[in-house]
Amino acid sequence: MPGPDPVVHPTATVHPQAQLESGVFVGPYCLVGGQVALGRNARLESHVVLEGLTEIGPDCRIGSHSVIGTDPQDVGDAGEETRVTLGAGNILREFVTIHRGTARGSGATRLGDRNYLMAFVHVGHDCRIGNETILTQGATLGGHVAVEDFANIGGLCGVHQFCRIGRYAFVGGATILTQDVAPFSRVAGSRPARFLGLNLVGLRRQGFDKDRLAALKALFNILFYSDLNTGQAVERIKAEFPSSEDAQELLAFVGSAKRGFIKKVSDPWDRESD
């Protein structure tokens, strides 16, 4: 059965070539460009601006004064046709900005499903965000940043271009990131950001059982807290955890880190307790 027709507030401006699926709501004073596609039951609150090749998945909610799909903030951008895509069930609160990709980059800025972006979050060009992440108020992602599934980024964080934040990682508020954040880990602070151990609270909330947490603690002890250098720690983990999917994920992330990853313990109090 077809759903209800889209509802467009009389003060909104929707280009006749824009694609609006069933159940879409476009609120007061919104602006929707001709290359925009809005999936089923997507909802735009007031004063939302959607431009360029922008695809919004089903059941997304976009808060007032958000701007999505405008030109990338890249001095080398020459107006090439690039895009923004959002998956299903994303919630974007007030004043979120997401820019299109660049021709020199991936050509697209992409968000997966069920992400929660709070007020004033900025997602720069060519960023890739996975599924079920949380970006708190004022978090700012430079271009080409990757945020993997279930990561949590605190308020007012600044993430340098090309950095990666691994799955299930937690970044504390007002952190400045210039290197990658390993999966399952917790970091905070600046000058530089400090490694604070395993993200125990977040992992427990995600349903990690005691055995899996114990194995991750053992992995972290080798990689982050032993006297081994990174190469030696990697070889030891391969030998001791040959069939662990978490170990394989951690090693793959570390092995592909182009900017390095946050690992230094500033003082003994930073170490995660048992």
Enumerate the active-site residues: 125-126, 143
Q: Does residue 242 contact residue 204 with C-beta atoms inside 8 Å?
A: no
pLDDT in single tens digits along all 274 residues of the chain: 567 999 999 999 999 999 999 999 999 999 999 999 999 999 999 999 999 999 999 999 999 999 999 999 999 999 999 999 999 999 999 999 999 999 999 999 999 999 999 999 999 999 999 999 999 999 999 999 999 999 999 999 999 999 999 999 999 999 999 999 999 999 999 888 999 999 999 999 999 999 999 999 999 999 999 999 999 999 999 999 999 999 999 999 999 999 999 996 545 444 444 4
What's the rounded Cα separation, in Å, for the pair 237 and 247? Answer: 7
Domain co-membership, 245 together with 118? no
Predicted structure pTM score: 0.95
Domain co-membership, 212 together with 91? no
Please report whether residue 217 resides in a domain.
yes
In the chain, how many domains are there? 2
Among residues 102, 126, 147, the one where a domain terminates is 147
Among residues 147, 164, 185, the one where a domain terminates is 147
Q: What is the CATH number of the domain that holds 239?
A: 1.20.1180.10
* Residue 11 structural domain: 7-147
Domain co-membership, 143 together with 249? no
Structure tokens, 178? 């210039």
Give the burial string for 106-118 (b: 16+ CB within 10 Å, else e): bbbbbbbbbbbbb
Number of neighbouring beta carbons within 10 Å of residue 227: 6
Identify how many contiguous H helices and E strands the chain contains and give both numbers: 4, 28
Structure tokens, 9? 């507030």
Please report whether residue 160 resides in a domain.
no
